[in-house]
Amino acid sequence: MIRALYTAASGMSAQELNLDTIANNLANSATTGFRQLRLEFQDMVYQNLVTPGAAESQTTVSGGLQIGLGTKSAATEVINTQGSLNETDNPLDLAIEGQGFFQVQQPNGTIAYTRSGQFQLNNEGQLVTEEGDPIIPSITIPPTATAVTVTQYGVVNATLPGQTNPSQLGQIQLATFANPGGLENMGGNYLQATLSSGDPILGNPGGPEGVGTLQQGYLENSNVDVVTEFVQMVLAQRAYESNSKVITAANEMYSQVNNMTH
């Protein structure tokens, strides 16, 4: 019965982390470009009371006798489905339709990646994130520029004083990864590359690298399905309750043993 106590406790602990993940998803259901997380579980080691295939007298045991010792949280999987697009009419708002991430130069020199395209201009006219970090490659829009447009292929154009035809101000590049689910969340809508994600593959929007296209004047909503998260929350609550009842049952069995008289 000691096994039952620790096994059920492992299930309760795993469901606590599951609920933490669900809470984070719901809290970020309105966060631009947020990617839903899903907690994955693994069964723990098994105690072999009778090893499968072991020899017993003149026969071989076919099934064996194994007792599982519970579950554990193994990883958080990033769900990289496309979020819906929300029209803002702000010419500096950009949404990625398809695969890819914007590249951002952080103050410490490292490169971060984001799906959030809530861009604005700093005091030098550079296109920057809400945190003030410039995108890569750098795009500078003169203060006198008018009719700023960004094509679906990432070309930034604007009309400058004294010119009748728009001038090209720069080219936005996106990064893709062999395993985008291996990117590490940093907060602030930023992600960073890891050994699991692989090195970034750079390309222009709509290019042959499989990079998605850009939509000017739109933002990508979080891909969190609130209804699904509520269902998962109920399932986690019931699983936690079931494991707690196992602990109660094991405790009652212990109590009966302690109350036995000879």
Output the pTM of the full model.
0.85
- Supply the range of the domain harboring residue 200: 85-220
Question: What are φ and ψ of residue 87, in 5° steps?
Answer: -75, 130
Helix (H) or strand (E) holding 252: helix 226-258
Total domains in the chain come to 2
Q: Could you tell me if 108 and 129 lie in one domain?
A: yes
Distance, in Å, from the CA atom of 262 to the CA atom of 260, rounded to the nearest integer, reads 7
Q: Could you tell me if 118 and 187 lie in one domain?
A: yes
With contact defined as beta carbons under 8 Å apart, do 172 and 207 qualify? no
Question: Within the chain, which residues score under 70 in pLDDT?
Answer: 1, 52-63, 261-262
Q: What CA–CA distances, in Å, run from 171 to 28, 168, 174, 177?
A: 30, 8, 10, 20
With contact defined as beta carbons under 8 Å apart, do 129 and 121 qualify? no
Residue 251: the pLDDT is: 85
Contacts of 223 (CB under 8 A, 6+ apart): 34, 35, 36, 79, 80, 81, 82, 83
Q: Tell me what percent of the residues of the chain surpass a pLDDT of 70.
A: 94
Q: Could you tell me if 94 and 212 lie in one domain?
A: yes
Q: What six digits make up the tokens of 29?
A: 């259901």
Residue 57: the pLDDT is: 54
Q: Could you tell me if 47 and 98 lie in one domain?
A: no
Q: Could you tell me if 92 and 159 lie in one domain?
A: yes
CB atoms within 10 A of CB 122: 13
Q: Could you tell me if 235 and 253 lie in one domain?
A: yes
* Identity of the residue numbered 30: A
Residue 252: the pLDDT is: 86
For residue 140, the 8-state DSSP code is B
Residue 204: the pLDDT is: 96
Residue 157: the pLDDT is: 96
